[in-house]
Amino acid sequence: MLAAATEMTETVLSSGWFLENAWIIPIIPAISFALIIFFGKRMPKKGSEFGVASMLGALVFSAGAAYQWIQRVNGAAEGAYIAPIVKTWTWWQNDGVSLGIGQHVDGLTVTILLVVAFISSLVQIYSLEYLRGDRRYTHFFASLTLFSAGMLNMVVAENMIQLILGWEIMGLCSFMLIGHWWEEGANSRAALKAFFTTRTGDIGLLTGTAVLYFAANDWTTKTLGVSGFSIRGLSSWALSGDPSSAAITVGAVALFIAAIGKSGQFPLHTWLPDAMAGPTPVSSLLHSSTMVVAGVFLVARVYPVFFEGLDILGSGANFIVIIGGITIVIAALLAFVQTDIKKVLAYSTVSQLGYMMMGLGAGAWLPAVFHIFTHAFFKACLFLGAGSISHSSSHHSFEMKKDMGGLRKFMPITFTTWIISTLALCGVFPFSGFFSKDEIIDNVGHNGYNVFMIVGLTGAFLTAAYMTRATYLTFFGSPRGASAGEHHEEEGHGAHASHDDHAHDTHGHDAHASHDDHASHGPHESGWLITAPLIILATLALSSGFLNAAPFGHSWENFKKWVEPSAEVINPTGIAYVTGGAGEARISSDEPTEPVVGEEAQSGAPLAAASGEEDHSSEEGHHKSDCGTKTPVDGVCVAPQLNHAPFKWSKAGLSMLIVFAGMLSSWILCVQLYERKNKKLVGLTERNKALGAGYKFLVNKYYLDALYENVIVRSIAHPIARGAYWINQNILDGIVNGAGTSAKTVAGWVYRNVDQKLVDGAVNGSGNAAQAAGGALQPVQSGKVNMYGALLFGSAAIGALILVIINT
């Protein structure tokens, strides 16, 4: 798709129908969702046809938009500012603040649109087979389709509110999808946990948006004529020198907290592995290209806010880079102690998201975005591969130790695609992960975050090691449990026993009625609806890295050219706001930027062909604009000037060595541990106290879940809530009831002592009046109301009268 567009065209900065109308893309699945809900059950394919058709439609539109964007970039001078195509319609108006809904389409937008629509399409096709016969087949497709609509809407969002809309729709759908088989308590709890954890992060999203809006709105309205919610407004504002450091820092930190929740960063990553309770296609979609990428996307989207707010490049560490770095390592370590293949992949996702965040935090914007792109393909492929194994070979079990092993013989396609994706994930040259992950690590170091470069390399080692372990347990060694299934010649006594155990299981979390017929078959390859997506994804896992193959020189860095925003100073009128009508495609035609553009065009191309060293110096010398470092005087910036580390084979070779070391050591360990049952190694964690403690610490997931669930949630849900309720019932209500009772007592006393004895006659009149008024209520309340009423009314009146008097 993208490859077709690489040919250069000599047109002026162009636009096109798909670019102008990218806002339609999320609407297609949204309409399809409504169709599935209302008519799905009556359709021959139970609504899945709407889902698949809408995703393919969205894919066509996204591909069209991507193609036209590439045309637009290729038609412009190199390094020139390419205006995003912004459109807006009034969504709501409040106190003169008019908020639009519309689109903000630039390189980042089209990239993620394409990835989301593509992965969603494949996942839906895969689900046709995987979920066949499921009791909530129609619901499943409805949720899946709405989910994609939410993500696509978030990606095209013109402003923060629209972004929040998509963000929260995804939260809702993840709740429904993770809890798809909600008959099981564990599944519904996982769903609740996912929603609740991300919602905790959303405190940051709401407050961050509010803070930034109020801080930016005056400036954006005056300078650009857009509100302080606008993505472009916020980006330009952040680099304008207008923000007070407090406001922008608070805003950036708050937004990043939201990203922590959504993108499963430490310490809010705990929902992500639990979310594996959902059907495998859901895991694949949520954890490759959508849900969890939302947080990363948010940071990439309004990057200047984080760049300025957290002083990226200004110091050796910041909030984002630290959280990202921690996440890489802690998640990778957890992946070692998992026996469930999906959980290994889940922690792997957490760890890879850590890379993206670390990259963004260290100023490696482009490698991070490129990593979103490549990661989507290979991670989706790995998840779907795990689903394929469970679907066809292991009785819906995901237990690697119990029910897998030796599957390479039975599932050649699944095995091959798995290996390709694993190599991509590990970052082996020339698979796609190499081009993105290695760039992140390289740039993190280049930008002065040396500690985090080492963290990244450590992560690479760990990734290679745990993926080797998972691959070994799944595809190599001897088949165990369900995988050994009907193959008596390979089945030992122990395996038999474990198989029996499994038969008593409630079919794990992926059980669904119609698939019981597989129980009689042995492990076998899945059908084409499952393998076709695997093959397509594996192909991309292998090849997508070449879109930005820095090692081969500047001319290969197409992704950079198409996606990275130019850090030029532009005249605010140069990006005049386009309302409703045709989005005007314009390179800033205003004078001030012209010379800069020219210089770019002259210096960019020849230098690119030169060696990395020179390229590097050119960046430091000519290329650099002042955006992000100095306040622009004439005009505004939309992106900070970032550095790019020159590619060096020596550095790449080092990280390759580290990866191979990880693979090799892990392989040897696995063979010793699982195949040879080396006595020195087996049971080591039980014999060695220190190792045992470490193992226990990992198995218990650093006790974070225990902290959240047993301490924080439980204390709020139980003692604190009960305490508050006790106060409510006994103190607040006690006062009310006490007032009533004491009023009655006082009334009784007054009646007996004062009324009867002293002023009997005087009050008879008023008493009768109250009696008469209360008479109406007599049948129900047997006369209590009038007394209470008269008393309360009277005392209130007296009190109020005093107020009036003392204020006269």
Partner 1 sequence: MLSEHNWVLSVGTFLPLVGVIIMLFLPKADEALTKAVGIITAAATLAVGVFTLIQFDYGRAGEMQFVANHEWISVIKSSYFIGLDGISLPLYFLSMVITLLVMIYSWDHVPSPGNPKAFFILMLVLQTGMAGTFISRDLILFFVFFELVLLPMYFMIGVWGGENRQYASLKFFLYTMFGSALMLVAFLALFFKTGAESFSIPFLIENGLNISRTTQIWIFGGMFVGFAVKVPMFPFHTWLPDAHTQAPTQGSVILAAILLKLGTYGFVRIAIPILPEAAKAWAPYIGALAVIGIIYGALGCLAQTDMKRLIAFSSVAHMGYVMLGISTLTSFGMNAAMFGMVAHGLITGMLFFVAGSVKERYHTLEIKRLSGMLLQIPKLGWIMGFCAMASLGLPGLAGFWGEFPAILSAYQPADGLPVEVFRAYMVIAAIGTVFAAGYLLWLFQRTAFGEPTAEFSPGHGHDEDIHDVNKFEWLAWSPLLIAIVVFGVYPQLMFKVLDPAVGVTLKAFGG
Binding residues for partner 1, rule: CB under 8 A, are 90-95, 97, 161, 164-165, 167-169, 171-172, 175, 179, 182-185, 188-189, 191-192, 195-196, 199-200, 202-203, 206-207, 209-211, 213-214, 713, 716-717, 720-722, 724-725, 728, 732-733, 736, 740, 777, 780-781, 784-785, 788-789, 792-793, 796-797, 799-801, 803-804, 807
773 token code pair: 């008024």
Decide whether 4 or 804 has the Cβ nearer to partner 1: 804
If one counts every other C-beta atom within 10 angstroms of the C-beta of residue 793, the result is 12
- Residue 2 or 194 with smaller CB distance to partner 1: 194
| 141, 51 contact by CB (below 8 A) | yes
Query: How many other CB atoms are found less than 10 A from the CB of residue 743?
Result: 15
Nearer to partner 1, 608 or 785 (CB): 785
Structure tokens at 704: 């974070």
CA atoms within a 13 Å half-sphere pointing along the CA-CB vector of 576:
13
Which of residues 511 and 671 has its CB atom nearest to partner 1 in the complex?
511
Report the residue number, 6 or 514, with the smaller CB distance to partner 1: 514
How far apart are CB 718 and partner 1 at their closest, in Å?
8
Closest to partner 1 by CB, 161 or 293: 161
Instruction: Compute the least distance from the CB of residue 271 to partner 1, in Å.
Output: 13
Place of tokens 């296609």: 281
Contacts of 329 (CB under 8 A, 6+ apart): 351, 354, 455, 458, 459, 462
CB of 738 to partner 1, least distance (A): 12
The residues, any chain, with a CB within 8 Å of residue 76's CB and separated by 6 or more, are 13, 82, 587
Bridge partners, residue 105, by sequence: 85
Q: How far is the CB of 513 from partner 1 (least distance, A)?
A: 14
Nearer to partner 1 among residue 608 and residue 777 (C-beta): 777
CA distance 654 to 105: 38
Nearer to partner 1, 269 or 651 (CB): 269
Report the run of H or E that residue 291 belongs to, with start and end.
none
Q: For residues 332 and 325, what is the distance between their CA atoms, to the nearest angstrom?
A: 11
Alpha-carbon span 200 to 467, nearest angstrom: 31
Using the CB atoms, write b or e for 388-414: b if 16+ within 10 Å: bbbbbbbbbbbbbbbbbbbbbebbebb
DSSP per-residue letters across 577-618: PP-SSPPPP----SGGGHHHHHHHHHHHHHHHHS-HHHHHHH
What the block records as the tokens of 652 is 């790449």
Q: Which amino acid is at 685?
A: T
Strand partners, 101: 89
Q: Closest distance between partner 1 and the C-beta of residue 361, in Å?
A: 24
What is residue 98's three-state secondary structure?
strand
Closer of 105 and 161 to partner 1 (Cβ): 161
Between 262 and 616, name the residue whose CB sits nearer to partner 1. Answer: 262
Q: Which amino acid is at 63?
A: A
Burial (CB count within 10 angstroms: exposed 0-12, middle 13-18, buried 19+), residue 290: buried
* 135 versus 586: smaller Cβ distance to partner 1: 135
Nearest distance in Å: CB 743, partner 1 = 9
Closest distance to partner 1 from the beta carbon of 77 (Å): 40
Which C-beta is closer to partner 1: that of 706 or that of 732? 732
Q: Which is nearer to partner 1, 112 or 205 (CB)?
A: 205
Least distance CB 712 / partner 1 (angstroms): 11
Token pair of 752, please? 């007996």
Least distance in Å: CB of 378 to partner 1?
Answer: 32
* Residue 344: partners with Cβ closer than 8 Å, 6 or more residues away: 335, 338, 400, 466, 467, 469, 470
Which CB sits closer to partner 1, 699 or 792?
A: 792
Whole-number minimum distance, CB 794 to partner 1, in Å? Answer: 8
- Residue 22's nearest CA partner among 85, 81, 76 is 85
Nearest distance from C-beta of residue 294 to partner 1, angstroms: 14
Closest CB 255 distance from partner 1, rounded Å? 13
The distance of closest approach from Cβ of residue 179 to partner 1 in the complex, given in angstroms and rounded to an integer, is 7
Beta pairing partners, 103: 87
Question: Least Å distance between CB 85 and partner 1?
Answer: 24
631 vs 728 by CB, closer to partner 1? 728
Token pair in block for residue 581: 């009508």
Q: Closest by alpha carbon to 486, among 443, 524, 535?
A: 524
| Contact (Cβ atoms closer than 8 angstroms) between residue 176 and residue 82 | no
- Determine how β-strand 636-637 pairs with β-strand 97-105: unpaired
In the complex with partner 1, the residue whose CB is nearer, 143 or 417, is 143
Q: Is the dihedral of CA 730, 735, 736, 742 positive or negative?
A: positive
Rounded Cα distance between 778 and 786, Å, is 8
Residue with tokens 């409805």: 142
Residue 577: helix, strand or coil by DSSP?
A: coil
DSSP-based three-state secondary structure for 104: strand
- Range 673-676 contact pairs with CB under 8 angstroms and sequence separation of 24 or more: 674/472, 674/473, 674/477, 675/477, 675/478
Residue closer to partner 1 (CB basis): 720 or 758 = 720
Reported in sequence order, the residue ranges of 534-581 that DSSP labels E, i.e. its strands, are: 569-570
Q: Which residues pair with 627 in a beta bridge?
A: 630
Could you identify the residue written with the tokens 């990395």? 612
